[in-house]
Homo-oligomer: A and B are copies of this chain.
Amino acid sequence: MTVTDSARTAADRALTAAADAAMDAYRTAVATYSREKLKSIAMDGADGTPTMFIDVVIEDAIITAATAAGANVLSEERGWVDVGSAVTLVVDPVDGSANAAAGIPLSCFSAAVVIDGEFTEAMTCWLHTGERWWASRTESAFRTSGCTSLSSAAVSMLRPHPRNRDAWWRVASTATRIRILSCSTLESVFVATGSADAFVDAGSDTHRLMDIAAAVVLVEASGGAVLDAYDRPIEFGIDLTKRWSGIVAATPELAHELRGAIQG
């Protein structure tokens, strides 16, 4: 076994352990606590935003499981947990935590594996149903829709803000269909599997690394493209204050057209 094979085995084990821990913690949390408790602000996260109680309890379970399986963890609330491993998981413990806390069953555990500074594989797990989507950089069971034109695209978007109203409207009024599920990693899965044609943050710079890291692997290995609307590289780093306006698209052509529509 080469070092790389060994690291990949450790990564697979850590990914699975983290996803299992997230599922268990999610089910316990929604069965145990009130919605008020789940959405109460428990701390300020390492990403600089207020953190809900549901995020904290699920992240703690994930960190325990992933580090026990031998991986470092970069996660939105606790930040960088370095156990000296060659393998790092970039984790969103509960993507769509506002959904999860309210009882809207659209939230996911999502993680991308980083080895030697590169994303190598990723998994997203829908916490309500247990469905999981996995891919490596070179191996995916999924194919994007192949859509190349915004005017024939079904596009998932982040909600609009006053700061990106015009860019948001340019995308929304050109696309053939718009969805806002408030769960970036699930919306990216739907691009990988060909159910949606694109998912975008239309220039509001809301995306953190863990919101789009899994998409880089899952969608690109499935034939799609992942860009930033302002051409910043989407790459591993432990500074959780960095933000992107992610464009996750079925094809490079569609990604570039979306970038043009957002830049205006």
Contacts and interface: CB of A to CB of B under 8 A. Distances in A.
B103 A190 contact: yes
Contacts of A193: 103
Interface residues on A, range: 20 to 34
A13 interface: no
A160 B129 CA distance: 30
Contacts of A104: 179, 190, 195-196
Contact of A195 (B103, B165, B194): B103
Interface in A158-175: 159-160, 162, 165, 169, 172-173
A177 B194 contact: no
A172 B195 contact: no
A141 to B, nearest CB: 14
B178 A181 contact: no
Nearest to A98: B177
Interface string A35-77: 1000000000000000000000000000000000000000000
Contacts of A159: 172, 177-179
A111 interface: no
